[in-house]
Each structure stands twice: as structure tokens, then as C-alpha cells.
Amino acid sequence: MAEFLQQVVSGLAVGAIYASLALALVLIYRATDVLNFAQGEMATFTTYVAWTLMNHGLSYWPAFALTLAIAFAGGVGVERVLIRPVERRPEVVIVIVTIGLLIALNGLTGWIWGADVKAFDSPFPNDTFEVGGVTISTQDVGTFGVCLATVLLLWAFFRFTTLGLAMRAVANNQNASRLVGVRVGWMLALGWGLAAVLGAVAGMMAAPTVFLDPSMMLVILIYAFAAAVLGGIDSPVGAVVGGLALGVIINLLGAYVDFVGSELRLPTALAVLLLVLLIRPSGLFGHVVVRRV
């Protein structure tokens, strides 16, 4: 039982990282109806930025905060420069732009920082503590806590601020938003900025365990896709629950089902994705259109 709970706890920590990235995907999907394939590479790039900042003598949390600010500006910039010109094109055009961005950022990261694997510091001590016979690593608790805090802050922003309300309005009905005086373009850019911030958090939380390399988020992005689909691609709550659930499921399967081990984890995630799409395409919390005319 203790071991089982241990697996659940460490699954939640990994799941929180998937949840953050999945939420980033959902944010952009809700506003633009497009999956941002570059979300993972954007996260990787910003994690390298954090690494550089720390290499230049900044301690962890200032570097963390500065990285989030840079990620935000970068996300806004990407939307204004790359997405805006194709905004009114068919969705597939925008998707291809994000795939192009994925490849470009991956190349750029390798070109600037090299392809060799780098170690990335963790802000949390590498020790464990015990709660009722369950050994919990401080690392896991910290990762979970940071991701959860980010998600909660974002939730509060959308729930309680005028700007957050305006962003939800834009995601719901762009034409009506224009008529009530919202600058729709900037709200979309802001969405990209916030998504990039979420990605940066995910990247910095993942890097201590997966290590820094230009493709470090590739697998995590696939887990995040699976999590977002599991939760319902247009549901922010779903993305978070889906991410946590996927983290736990994968961890438990890896630990208890022999043939899954560590090699078959990714195919398992893809199997989850496929099953959800077959059985319940709208996901656990997906949107069922409620509308009377």
C-alpha cells in the first residue's frame, strides 16, 4: 500500500508538469481553435534561457521569475509576428505555422546552446520525508506545488479580473467582443503570452529530472496532448485533471504492469489518447454545447 501511494504521489508530480503544458495548449485552443505544436519547444527555449541566467550568477528564484517574464514577452511576440498574419486563414495553415515554429525553435536552441545534455538545478532539496509510512520526495512536492500554484493563479486571473473576463469573452465570441470594445488581437496575444508562461513553468520543473537538451519537451508535449484530449480539449479544468490523471496512470502502469516498464509508457499515453477519442471524443470535461435558440 505504501509503495502504491508512493507511486501515486510521484505520478502526481509528473502529472502536474503535463497538466501545466496541457493547460497551455487548451488556452490557445480555446482562443484560436488551433493546437500549438510549438508549445513544447517554446518551453524548452525558455528553460535554456533560465539556465543561461543562472549561469550568469542569478540564483534560482530570480532567474525563475525573470524567465517567466521573458516567456510572456516571447509568447506575445510569437502571436503578433507569426500568428497574426495568418489569423484569418484556415486552421490548418496556422497549425503548419506552429509546426514550422517547432522546427525553427528546436534548431535555434541547438544552435545557441549546443546539442549536448546539460544538468539543470532544482530549487528543492534532494531528500525525502515520510508521511504515514509513505516516503515522499521533497522534489515531487515542490514540483507539484509550483505547477499547482501557477494554475491557481491563472484561474484567479480568469475568474476575478476584468482582463481575464475579456479574454474568456474573446474565446467565446470574437465578433461580439469587438462590438463591446475589446481589442481582440491583443487578447489573443495575451493568451499566447500566458500559455508560454505555463510552458516555461513546465519546462523548468521538468528539466532537473529529464535534463536539458533541445528535444527535452518532445515527449512531455505528447503526454500533454494526451492529457488535454483526456480532459476535453476545450476545458481548462479538464486539462489539469487530465494531466494529473495521466501522470498517475502512467506511473502506476509502469510500476505494476511488467510489460509496460519504462519503454512502453509513451505508447500507453498514445493508447489512452486513442481510446478517449474513440469512446468519448469530447473528453472527461469536454464542452457539450448548451444553446437554445
Partner 1 sequence: MPLLELENVEARYGAIKALHGVSLTVGEGEVVALLGANGAGKTTTLRAVSGTVRKSGQVVFAGRSVARRSPQALARLGVAHVPEGRGLFTELSVWENLRMGAYIRGERKTLRAEAPRIFGYFPWMSERRDQQAGTLSGGEQQMLALARALVARPRLLMLDEPSLGLAPIVVEEIFRIVGELNTKDGLTVLVVEQNAEIALESAARAYVLEVGRVATAGTSDELRGNEAIRQSYLGY
Is 108 or 237 the residue whose CB approaches partner 1 more closely?
237
Is 118 or 168 the residue whose CB approaches partner 1 more closely?
168
Cell of 238: 479538464
Minimum distance of partner 1 from residue 150's CB (angstroms): 23
Cα dist from 136 to 82, 183, 196, 211, 262, whole Å? 43, 47, 30, 21, 21
Is 60 or 158 the residue whose CB approaches partner 1 more closely?
158
Helices 184-210 and 39-55 cross at an angle (nearest 10°) of 60
Is 56 or 292 the residue whose CB approaches partner 1 more closely?
292
Question: What's the CA gap between 249 and 261, in Å, rounded?
Answer: 13
Question: What's the CA gap between 237 and 245, in Å, rounded?
Answer: 12
Minimum distance of partner 1 from residue 51's CB (angstroms): 40
Residue 108: partners with Cβ closer than 8 Å, 6 or more residues away: 45
Residue whose cell numbers read 491583443: 186
Minimum distance of partner 1 from residue 287's CB (angstroms): 8
Minimum distance of partner 1 from residue 79's CB (angstroms): 18
| Secondary structure (3-state) at 288 | coil
Neighbouring C-alpha atoms within 13 Å toward the C-beta of 142? 17
Question: What's the CA gap between 248 and 227, in Å, rounded?
Answer: 11
Interacting residue ranges for partner 1, rule: CB under 8 A: 162, 165-166, 168-169, 171-173, 175-183, 289-293
Is 56 or 291 the residue whose CB approaches partner 1 more closely?
291
**Which of 220, 259, 214, 285 is CA-nearest to residue 13?**
220
Minimum distance of partner 1 from residue 146's CB (angstroms): 29
Minimum distance of partner 1 from residue 238's CB (angstroms): 14
Residue whose cell numbers read 511576440: 77
Question: What's the CA gap between 122 and 45, in Å, rounded?
Answer: 17
Minimum distance of partner 1 from residue 84's CB (angstroms): 15
Is 1 or 289 the residue whose CB approaches partner 1 more closely?
289
Is 80 or 168 the residue whose CB approaches partner 1 more closely?
168
